[in-house]
């Protein structure tokens, strides 16, 4: 039996309905601590809904989501989880630094943290630019920097690398692994296959169900395939 430090995120029989559609028809999943877990699936497969349920901003129908042994969304967890939504959620009419300063004050951290976060996402030179004038990719990085502010021990990232250039994408994944090595639990959704290969653990989702779950190498071995795309297809057809 694993305790909550090994698996800080535990999901049991989670049902989520959005409108008339049952988006998650009973998901159970454990996420390992101090690792980068990739959540791979086509759009509409329920990735965002699953992430929102873990953060505690999603209304769920039934089932259990616990984070550090507490029900998802508990006030005590708000300081410990960093969350990046798919669309960058920052103020377009403020500068990068003003955004970080505002959210930093809400989290009760000093301005130094903001500078560190800017460094991590490679936006230090853009600090005084109005967010609305940045490119889409830069805006997502501001959003990511905001999530890093509170030095959370769990980071939930919903497709944070969409539209980023490959070099920056590689750098960010490197950062994810560094943070994970320092003990942060990272759950990152993606639909890019080669990104998925870089995660420590991989969760494959299709139509609201977890099709497979394991280390990328293990999934390749299990399906006798050489790339994640083929493995995904083999597992999806078998399911």
Partner 1 sequence: MSTTATLATTHRVLRQLRRDRRTLALIFLVPPLLLTLFRYVFDGQADTFDRVGGPLVGLFPFISMFLVTSIAMLRERTSGTLERLMSMPVGKLDLLLGYGLAFSVVAAVQAAITSAVAFGLLGLDTNGSIGVVVAIAIANALLGMALGLLVSAFASSEFQAVQFMPAVVIPQLLLSGLIVPRERMADLLEWVSAALPLTYAYDALAHVTQDGSLDAGLAADVGIVTACIALALALGAATLPRRTA
Q: What is the DSSP letter of 214?
A: E
Smallest gap from Cβ 16 to partner 1, in A, equals 9
**Residue 190: burial class (beta carbons within 10 Å; 0-12, 13-18, 19+):** buried
Which residues 6+ apart lie within 8 Å of 185 measured at CB?
Answer: 8, 9, 31, 32, 33, 34, 35, 37, 153, 154, 155
Compare residues 73 and 127 and give the one whose CB is closer to partner 1: 73
Residues near partner 1 (CB under 8 A) are 18-19, 55-59, 73, 75, 78-79, 81, 83, 85, 87-94, 98, 102-103, 105-108, 130, 146, 150
Task: State how far the Cα of 136 lies from the Cα of 133, in Å rounded to an integer.
Answer: 9
Smallest gap from Cβ 18 to partner 1, in A, equals 6
Compare residues 98 and 218 and give the one whose CB is closer to partner 1: 98
CA 140 from centroid of its chain's CA atoms: 13
Smallest gap from Cβ 159 to partner 1, in A, equals 13
* 148 and 184 Cβ atoms separated by less than 8 Å: no
Task: State how far the Cα of 180 lies from the Cα of 60, in Å rounded to an integer.
Answer: 28
Strands (E), 120-199: 154-158, 185-190
Compare residues 85 and 223 and give the one whose CB is closer to partner 1: 85
Place of tokens 């692994």: 177
Smallest gap from Cβ 3 to partner 1, in A, equals 25
Smallest gap from Cβ 82 to partner 1, in A, equals 9
Compare residues 34 and 102 and give the one whose CB is closer to partner 1: 102
Smallest gap from Cβ 166 to partner 1, in A, equals 26
Compare residues 90 and 117 and give the one whose CB is closer to partner 1: 90
Smallest gap from Cβ 150 to partner 1, in A, equals 8
Compare residues 96 and 196 and give the one whose CB is closer to partner 1: 96
| SS3 at position 213 | strand
Q: What is the DSSP letter of 132?
A: G
Compare residues 61 and 227 and give the one whose CB is closer to partner 1: 61
* 39 and 197 Cβ atoms separated by less than 8 Å: no
């Amino acid at each position: 039996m694993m305790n909550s430090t090994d698996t800080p995120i535990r999901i049991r029989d989670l049902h989520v309905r959005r409108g008339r559609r049952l988006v998650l028809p009973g998901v159970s999943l454990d996420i390992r601590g101090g690792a980068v877990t990739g959540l791979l699936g086509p759009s509409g497969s329920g990735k965002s809904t699953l992430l929102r349920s873990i953060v505690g901003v999603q209304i769920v129908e039934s089932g259990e989501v616990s984070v550090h042994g507490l029900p998802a969304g508990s006030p005590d967890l708000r300081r410990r989880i960093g969350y990046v939504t798919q669309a960058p959620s920052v103020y377009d009419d403020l500068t990068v630094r003003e955004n970080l300063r505002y959210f930093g004050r809400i989290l009760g951290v000093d301005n130094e943290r903001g500078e560190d976060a800017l460094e991590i996402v490679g936006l230090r030179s853009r600090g005084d630019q109005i967010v609305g004038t940045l490119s889409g990719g830069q805006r997502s990085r501001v959003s990511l920097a905001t999530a890093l502010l509170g030095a959370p021990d769990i980071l939930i990232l919903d497709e944070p690398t969409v539209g980023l250039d490959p070099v920056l994408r590689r750098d960010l994944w490197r950062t994810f692994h560094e943070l994970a090595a320092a003990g942060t639990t990272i759950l990152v959704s993606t639909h890019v296959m080669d990104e998925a290969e870089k995660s420590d653990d991989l969760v494959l989702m299709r139509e609201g169900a977890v099709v497979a779950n394991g280390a990328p190498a293990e999934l390749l071995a299990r399906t006798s395939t050489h790339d994640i795309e083929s493995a995904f297809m083999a597992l999806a057809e078998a399911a």
